[in-house]
Amino acid sequence: MDIKDLKIIVTGGASGMGRCFATELAKAGATVAIGDLDEAKMAEVVDESKDMAGDIHAFSCNVADEDSVIALINNAHETMGGLNGLINNAGIFRDGLLVKQDRETGKIKRMSLKNWNAVIAVDLTGPFLCTREFAAKMIETKTPSSCVVNISSVARHGNRGQTNYSAAKAGLVADTKLWGIELARHGIRCGAVAPGFVDTPILQGMRPEVLEGMLKAVPLRRVAAPTEIYQAVRFILECDYFTGRCIDIDGGMTV
């Protein structure tokens, strides 16, 4: 696929990696729709795109809500005059050990069902809903070629303190493989990118000594720039023979 021909949705496009993906695609000439819940940040992204080769449109969307996702797909398709790409980027963290015992009192603290459900809803159910509705729209409109990119994580291999997040990101890679198989007959490809540590507001808010300790597990001893993750996203979008696979961009990190 040629980037200039893309009419693509980026969920979680108001900040972090999603904002990078949206702006880089627009710079390259794509027409982009960002879906997010942060109206103010979405307005900033749209404003920044005014002098870019492509356009960016903004739509309020909760990816964990079925009606909201259906509206996003339909509104983006109508506004952009078509649709042929989707980046499932929206995600949240609610980290914590499965169970933890207080050393002094012996009391057991459990990961809450609320935190489990919240992460699964956004990080796994969200991509399911978005991809389902996107694929249905592609089939209904007889779009000959389209692509879905799922943003997973190095945590898909299992990362301490991330039972919910690891489960969601591992499930997303499994779904990437399945959707690549199921949707190929409709001209829809599906790939995934699994980043390691990326220079986003979440990491920027960490104490330097904590981040330094985390980077000891990364052979390259640094975090990735969002644009380095975008390079993998762009490869999947442009390579018409890529589907059903995940690209790890993690600096050689193992968890």
Q: What is the pLDDT of residues 53-84, one digit of tens each?
A: 999 999 999 999 999 999 999 999 999 999 99
Task: Check if 230 is active-site.
Answer: no
Catalytic residue selected from 165, 179, 197, 230: 165
Mean pLDDT on 6-13:
98
**Is the pLDDT reported for residue 201 higher than 80?**
no
Query: How high does pLDDT run on average in the chain?
Result: 94
Q: Using one digit for the tens of pLDDT, what is the confidence trace for 202-254?
A: 777 767 877 787 788 888 988 899 999 999 999 999 999 999 999 999 998 87
**HSE of 79, CA atoms in CB hemisphere, 13 A:** 17
Phi, psi of 130 (to 5 degrees): -65, -45
* DSSP string for the chain: --GGG-EEEEETTTSHHHHHHHHHHHHTT-EEEEEES-HHHHHHHHHHGGGSSS-EEEEE--TT-HHHHHHHHHHHHHHHT---EEEE-------B-SEEE-TTT-PEEE--HHHHHHHHIIIIIHHHHHHHHHHHHHHHTT-S-EEEEEE--GGGG--TTBHHHHHHHHHHHHHHHHHHHHHGGGTEEEEEEEE-SB-SHHHHTS-HHHHHHHGGG-TT-SPBPHHHHHHHHHHHHH-TT--S-EEEESTT---
- Classify 3-249 by CATH class: alpha beta
Q: Residue 155: pLDDT band by 50, 70, 90 thresholds?
A: confident
pLDDT at position 200? 83
Tell me what pLDDT residue 232 has. 98
Strands 246-249 and 188-195: parallel
The predicted structure's pLDDT at residue 255: 67
Share of the chain above pLDDT 90, in %: 82
- The pLDDT-based confidence of 160 (bands split at 50, 70, 90) is confident
Percentage of the chain modeled with pLDDT above 70: 99
pLDDT single digits (tens) 107-121: 999 999 999 999 999
Task: Give the pLDDT confidence score for residue 208 in this predicted structure.
Answer: 80
**Statement: the pTM of the whole predicted model exceeds 0.95:** no
Q: What's the confidence (pLDDT) of residue 210?
A: 73
